[in-house]
Chain A
Amino acid sequence: MIITFDWLKDHLKTNLKEKNLLEQLTKIGLEVESIERLSVDKELFKVAEIIKTEKHPNADRLKVCDVNIGENEIKKVVCGAENAREGLLTIYAPQGAIIPKTKTKLAVTKIRGVTSYGMLCSESELNLSNESDGIVELNKEFRKNIGKSYFSKSKSNLIDLSITPNRPDCLGIRGIARDLAASGFGKLVDLEEKKIHSRNKHTLKVKINKEKGQGCTAFGSCLITNVKNSESPKWLKDKLISIGQKPISAIVDITNYVMLDVNRPLHAYDADKIEKGIIVRNSKSGEEFTALDNKNYKLESGMCVISDNKGVLGLGGIIGGTRSGTKFDTKNILLESAYFEPESIRNTAKKLNLDTDAKFRFERGIDPLSIENGLNKAAKLIKKICGGEISKIDIQKIETYKTKKISFDPNIFEKISGFKISLKEMIIILENLGFGVKSDKKKLKLIVPSWRPDISQEVDIVEELVRISGYEKIKNIEPIKQRKKSTLNKFQKLFHFLQRSIASKGYLEVITWSFTDQRYNDYFRDKKKEIKIINPISSELGVLRNSVFSNLIMHINKNLDRGFKDLSVFEIGPIFNGSNPGEQNTVVCGMSAGKKSRLSWIEKDRNVDVFDMKRDVIQTLVEAGYDSKKFFIDNKTPNYYHPGKSGRLFLDNRNDQVAAYFGEIHPNILKQVDMKTESLVGFEIFMDNLKLPEKTLNDLKVKFSFSDYQKSERDFAFIINKNVNAQDLINVISSVDEILIKNVKVFDVYEGENIPENHKSIAISVTIQSSEKTLNEADLEQINNLIIKTVENKTGAKIRS
């Protein structure tokens, strides 16, 4: 909502300055978004005439125009607008002017080899409207203004307010003035409209169809006959231009003026174009009409239309049609002032993708009692400017407005706001805002003003009172430093721990979007369901991610392109399994590319590999409190991992859910994303599959036992079938004596010379220790033999002699 202080003064008597006004507006919740200092910037935009156009020598769509900018000065301007033609009156911006829309400063430039001195502007470039097709077309009245500034000299700056959707009343200058006056900023000027006393009959029949979902509940109108439509007088033109609107004709300008001034949208029809009267009804599917924006709209059924015998004239409360639009030669007009239901307006506008000033106001709620006043105000102005005779006012209604009443307990104010104001103050504020107030015992009986659709209960009254008294009156109650419940639950603590644990292993944490490119998602989707976003921001962000890898691989590739070679990143966040709330899992997902050691004087070059991933996963889980002795690992992994160099980890046994995957990324994916690196490995830890530790760290620390007796280490080398896993061998050895065998460690794996085909040699060191005595040679020998015998029996291995 754009206003000027000058216009506000039509409704507000005040001696205060603009600076105070800006502060006060924000203070009462009418936030000042920006200020445009008009006077200096806009004087440069001049009325000008195109006197000659030629085709640009190097571009088919461009023209070179000779432009008369007054005082016998002709400028050459290159212009791409289709409507640029000889004799057109338009608006010229010279070098140095700042284009309001783009805020860019114009310079003399060569456009395809031809120098352009300045620019011819479109309405949208000047913020006059959204019209960006072609340059501004001014009517012949402006001929006398050639060379003069288009914008009138105004000392009042443009103040752009951000009006919240609950305050339709402040979409009119008067509503803003009322709020300001209530807050003590000036005094509201009394502007009661005198009623029209007319003997002329209203000869056009208006009917609102009573049908289901009727979006119009009241339709007021009057006829004005024998008018002479013309340019608006200067005061009206200046008023509209002062807030950036473009004057069109007196009749249209007047309806716009009344809308902006008192927030009463109106519509003027050429009465002679209406066939036999107005019918307000629901549209039928497939009906069409051409709106004032020159676009043809095809309607669905159930939209609120204003029609006549021939068909649709306009969309009620949204936009009129060209068939009955007023022109300079219009003689008789029908002036409409109606009430449309916000929901109906919103549905229709959404379906047709239409946005107009009237729609914006009606969907927020117009004062239902402003119908007559709006007609009075506009009709009298039309008569004054265009002449003619005004008929009696006719108001058709299918619903009567019921006043809203609230019984307000003044004690609630302090209970919610935390501070006190007197009952007297409350009454003054509410009365100034337009409430009817009656004191009744302990309560205030309030009548809500008809222009405040946002107010329906006591708490709304509290807001009004706090707002107008000033939010600065709210006390600052220091919070109490007391904790009754732990801040994080176990899952959150684990999240926090895993996050920092992985980062401490050399990974940079990244945060990527929860959606991703469908193509990348497919690489890592495995058997999961694809979840599409219906309205993605771009096709590259069209699906929710089934795995974090899709984003990580993309970003690793970008960083490789930046010249980095060895990269480790991780993200902890959601992946999605379905489109219902809750069908998501939290994963810790890491990826490493390149080498672990590169070009070092002390270490050999080595690629990152699956065992780096395995270590990071296991170390992290162990640090988080899980017992690595219980871990179970096999090689069944999703298809995006290298089938032979990847693993999955269970915390306990095979029946458990998968705690983690780790391994090399499938070489086919690297090929498809065109990644150039020595090695790419990754891991995924599924947080939701990790059982939360039942015991606290405290519980775990209670029992501390250790053995002081000597421990012995015995080494074995077995020749064993290649298919037997190291873990199986370890399990067999551990099971020989779970009390005495403390640790089993693989220290060498060998295949090749001296080892039979399809076999390998595994060297193992076993730590044996008793907590009761020092084991003697005989004891140890016995365990030794048992280990060899058990391994040979159970795995078919042979001890290497």
Chain B
Amino acid sequence: MSDLKKIKDEFLSKLNGKLDISEINQIKSDLFGKSGLISTQFKKIGAIAESERKKFASDLNIIKDELQDLISSKINELESAEINKKLEKEKIDITLPERSFVRGKIHPVSQTIDEISSIFSEIGFSVEEGPDVENEYNNFTALNTPENHPARDMHDTFYLDEKKQKLLRTHTSPVQIRTMLKDKPPFKIIAPGRTYRSDSDQTHSPMFHQVEGLHIDKDINMGHLKGCLNYFIKEFFEVDKIRMRFRPSHFPFTEPSAEVDIGYEMKDGKIIIGEGDQWLEILGCGMVHPNVLKNVKVDPSKFQGYAFGIGIDRLAMLKYGINDLRAFFDCDYRWLNHFGFDPLDVPTNYRGLSR
């Protein structure tokens, strides 16, 4: 009886002294090792008279728990003191620069194409493409612009052969021809891509981008055209209201033809699209000419619809306040960094076109 108490008192006082980790481990083994003091006591239990056995066992367990708890708390205490001491030494200057990183960027024209595709996707257009090198037929003749038509003067064409049969497409309209020859109506497509004209100054670049639109079905009229473009412009410029003006014009491949102006105003040298009282021409469109439909074997008495062509670079310039068209293709690192978009900024319907 007093044996247990003696062990307890002795070791409690020992443990409360100042000890290092090896001393505590020594105590632990003195008590709980194979022939430790407590372990020995447990072996005695069987030899104790039955009347006292229960109490002895209970007392022994209490003492065992008490000592064990104290030992592990002492070990914890010492270990965390040791870690803290180590951490004290590991302190760094966190204001030093991070490991270097580089950011990639998406070109504003690519971003704009994705924005345009996203908007037209919502109203059921799919994306078609065509080659950059075209034949004379697809680029002009099939589009109701026969040779010697004065409208050809408006397109300064790059040719690849002396006979002028192969050329760099001057607009995305030949994709209309390719699409309609390949499939059967109805058609509802947009075709973004590179286009070329041998023209080069502040506002013209020998290469630029257009997006073609084509919607042919049984009863598509000019009201659908207007509605579609009005929707597109509002969505693209992310404004609630837009002033838009349709005015008559002429393209050989549409009849009636129209040019579309949008309202804007200048504020602090920047163009604000929306409801200003100035007009800015942004696109050409019209009802697809019956001759074009005939050329692609679509019966104009059964099908009709509209087509439009929009300058993508110009849209990007207007939306993002870019002044110089030529800078798009100049690859200046500073410009690309400034006007480029993060690759994770994918224009979508649910998160919006831009942040």
Q: List A residues at the B interface (Cβ < 8 Å).
A: 26-29, 31, 164-167, 342-343, 346-347, 363-364, 415-419, 457, 459-460, 462-463, 466-467, 471-472, 474-489, 492, 496, 499-515, 531-537, 541, 544, 555, 558-559, 562, 564, 566-569, 573-574, 576, 579-584, 597, 600-603
Contact = CB atoms under 8 A, between A and B. Distances in A.
A479 B231 contact: yes
Nearest to B219: A415
A346 B105 contact: no
B284 to A, nearest CB: 11
A217 B328 CA distance: 51
A513 B207 contact: yes
A720 to B, nearest CB: 35
Given A474-B223, A486-B126, A508-B105, A541 B206 contact: yes
A28 B127 CA distance: 34
A646 B255 CA distance: 56
B227 interface: yes
Interface residues of B, number: 91
Counting chain A CB atoms within 10 Å of each CB, the highest count among B104, B132, B196, B346 belongs to: B104
Interface stretch (B9-17, B71-79, B264-272, B336-344): B336-344
The 7 closest A-B pairs by CB, nearest first: A29-B248, A418-B223, A164-B250, A506-B102, A418-B221, A555-B331, A463-B256
B221 A416 contact: yes
B228 interface: yes
A153 B203 CA distance: 35
B230 interface: yes
B131 A584 contact: yes
Contacts of A569: 331, 336
Contacts of A460: 255
A511 B124 CA distance: 28
Interface string B14-46: 000000000000000000000000000000000
Nearest to B105: A508
Counting chain A CB atoms within 10 Å of each CB, the highest count among B100, B196, B200 belongs to: B100
Nearest to A346: B148
B207 A514 contact: yes
A504 B221 contact: no
B151 to A, nearest CB: 5
Given A472-B245, A474-B226, A537-B158, 20 more contacts: A364-B150, A418-B221, A459-B255, A459-B290, A474-B225, A477-B227, A478-B231, A481-B122, A489-B127, A500-B346, A512-B331, A513-B329, A533-B159, A533-B160, A534-B160, A537-B199, A559-B331, A559-B332, A562-B334, A579-B161
Contacts of B64: none
Contacts of A537: 158, 198-200, 206
A487 B110 contact: no
A512 B329 contact: yes
Contact of A503 (B105, B109, B127, B247): B105
Contacts of A483: 121-122, 124
Given A164-B249, A488-B117, A503 B343 contact: yes
B288 to A, nearest CB: 10
A504 B343 contact: yes
A502 B104 contact: yes
Counting chain A CB atoms within 10 Å of each CB, the highest count among B132, B219, B304 belongs to: B132
B348 to A, nearest CB: 11
Interface string B117-146: 100111111110101111100100000000
Contacts of A488: 117, 126-127
Contact of A476 (B102, B107, B131, B223): B223
A581 B131 contact: yes
22 contacts: A347-B148, A415-B219, A463-B256, A472-B245, A476-B230, A477-B226, A479-B231, A487-B127, A489-B126, A489-B127, A499-B343, A509-B104, A513-B329, A514-B168, A535-B198, A555-B331, A558-B332, A562-B332, A564-B333, A576-B133, A581-B135, A582-B131
Contacts of A504: 104, 343-344
User: Mostly helix, strand, loop or mixed at chain B's interface?
Assistant: mixed
Contacts, number: 255
B258 to A, nearest CB: 6
Nearest to A467: B248
B250 A27 contact: no
B56 interface: no
A492 B227 contact: no
B287 A416 contact: yes
A514 B196 contact: yes
A307 B122 CA distance: 65
Given A416-B221, A459-B289, A512-B329, A506 B103 contact: yes
Given A418-B222, A503-B343, A582-B131, A463 B227 contact: no
B106 interface: yes
B187 to A, nearest CB: 10
B335 to A, nearest CB: 10
Nearest to A596: B100
Contacts of B109: 511
Given A416-B304, A508-B340, A467 B256 contact: yes
B131 A459 contact: no
A674 B333 CA distance: 19
Nearest to B101: A506
Contacts of B340: 508-509
A534 B159 contact: yes
A480 B333 contact: no
Contact of B110 (A166, A511, A559): A511
B90 interface: no
Counting chain A CB atoms within 10 Å of each CB, the highest count among B135, B222, B334 belongs to: B222
Contacts of A499: 106, 110, 343
Contacts of A347: 148
B247 A418 contact: no
A165 B250 contact: yes
Interface in B169-206: 188, 194, 196, 198-200, 206
Contacts of A475: 223, 226-227
B94 interface: no
Contact of A510 (B124, B228, B331): B331
A574 B193 CA distance: 11
A341 B56 CA distance: 130
Given A481-B122, A509-B340, A419 B105 contact: no
A466 B336 contact: no
Interface in B219-263: 219, 221-228, 230-231, 245-250, 255-259
B99 interface: yes
A481 B188 CA distance: 13
Contacts of B275: none
Contact of B336 (A462, A472, A508, A574): A508
Interface in B305-326: none
B1 interface: no
A364 B252 CA distance: 13
Nearest to A534: B159
B88 interface: no
Contact of B134 (A26, A419, A567, A581): A581
B222 A417 contact: yes
A236 to B, nearest CB: 30
Contact of A511 (B222, B287, B328): B328
Contact of B304 (A415, A492, A564, A566): A415
Interface string B60-96: 0000000000000000000000000000000000001
Nearest to A479: B123
B126 A508 contact: no
B306 to A, nearest CB: 10
Nearest to B196: A514
Contacts of B196: 514
A226 to B, nearest CB: 41
A366 to B, nearest CB: 13
Contacts of B161: 534, 579
A583 B133 contact: yes
Nearest to A472: B246
A689 to B, nearest CB: 17
B256 A462 contact: yes
